[in-house]
Amino acid sequence: MVSIVSEFAIPKVPITWAGSSFSGNLEEAGPGEDVLDEVYGSASDSGDTILSLVFSKRITSTVTGKGTFFRITLKNIPITKVSGSSVIVGIFDGSGPSLQNYIAKIESIDGYISNGQIVPVTTYVSTDWSSTNPGQVPVLQVTFGN
């Protein structure tokens, strides 16, 4: 078993609301590499809880023939509203073992592309939720707004 510290910084993905549900995607195509970020989910009527949130990122390279896919499914994320100039932003910032309460599923694979699919060479197995090693403590930050 190999332990790998991972960090996924996510760009701002524009979302569209339909009642209390939201969805959006951001496609970035460049020479030799394509990136697709997708997000969807729903919020409570009061807006103080994200009931479900699914984020995925798919990176494929025509240069190397490799691909990476990551998806995280979150649930019942409490959101703190912060008012700015004319924008209200919702924020969640947590770390450590309590994050298990908010993460329903994590999926991650790296591998080679065959017939448009990523054939896994490495896959996510688990998270050490109780890690106290510097740089390895689980951290989750979610921001909604401009």
* Stretch among 11-15, 35-39, 129-133, 135-139 having the lowest mean pLDDT: 129-133
Is 52 domain-assigned?
yes
Q: What is the pLDDT of residues 2-33, one digit of tens each?
A: 455 555 667 788 999 999 999 999 999 888 89
Is 92 domain-assigned?
no
Is 116 domain-assigned?
yes
Q: What is the pLDDT of residues 38-52, one digit of tens each?
A: 999 999 998 889 999
- Predicted structure pTM score: 0.82
- CB distance 17 to 40 below 8 Å: no
HSE of 63 in the Cβ direction (CA atoms, 13 Å)? 6
Residue numbers of the domain that contains 29? 16-78+99-133
Q: What is the pLDDT of residues 80-130, one digit of tens each?
A: 877 765 556 788 888 888 888 999 998 889 999 999 889 888 877 777 777
Structurally, the chain folds into a number of domains equal to 1
Is 6 domain-assigned?
no
Q: Where are the beta strands (DSSP E) in 96-136?
A: 103-114, 117-123
Is 37 domain-assigned?
yes
Phi, psi at 101, each rounded to 5°: -70, -20
